Chains A and B, each alone.
Chain A
């Protein structure tokens, strides 16, 4: 069975600090996708990134970066120079490749960025 663990329930930082959100996953599939979503207070889930299990290259998009390490089954998300607008709940998710491709979510990490 697939499982995603986000051990950090809540994180609070001061603006401009860097912050890393941890994600550890379990799956028996050899091909799978990993995702990060942002859920601001408005409630809508906003897609941030999708990663194929065969692509272990780290990715950077502006202030966001992702570190995928298959050896430790981790897909961590770093926000550099955090801003108040980054305050939200962040979810890591996993899906099989093929079949339903339904998402299995972690419980989320609530990030609060204080001015």
Chain B
């Protein structure tokens, strides 16, 4: 296993368009998290899944955001009707619940809304 993979690495989109990001976690990890990081800030929690169940969503996750994790494997994060304020790095992380290590983060998807 090569770690957490995110696709695409970079995405430039016009305001109002929909975008979708994909995250492939480490296969034996049962938890998957999405974070958003803006310039000069630490990552902020958006949502997480345990297996296929989405168990918590941050108030940062407006109605334009939706995340799925079908069959408890990869996850997608979709942003509808993108706004300039959505420009950020979107990070995915996975972990094994009650594991001894911290999360493993992917390299992120950098979204630029023009």
Contact = CB atoms under 8 A, between A and B. Distances in A.
Interface of A: 4, 35, 37, 42-47, 49-50, 91, 93, 100-108
Contacts of A107: 40-42
Max chain A C-beta neighbours (<10 A), residue from B42, B95, B103, B105: B42
B43 A45 contact: yes
Contacts of A104: 45
Interface in B85-112: 89, 91, 93, 95, 97, 100-108, 110
22 contacts: A37-B102, A43-B110, A44-B105, A44-B106, A45-B43, A45-B91, A45-B93, A45-B105, A49-B102, A91-B42, A91-B43, A100-B45, A100-B48, A100-B55, A100-B56, A101-B95, A103-B33, A103-B43, A103-B45, A105-B42, A105-B44, A108-B40
B102 A35 contact: yes
Interface residues of B, number: 27
Contacts of A4: 42
Nearest to B46: A102
Given A44-B107, A103-B103, A107-B40, 5 more contacts: A47-B103, A91-B42, A103-B35, A105-B43, A108-B42
Nearest to A108: B42
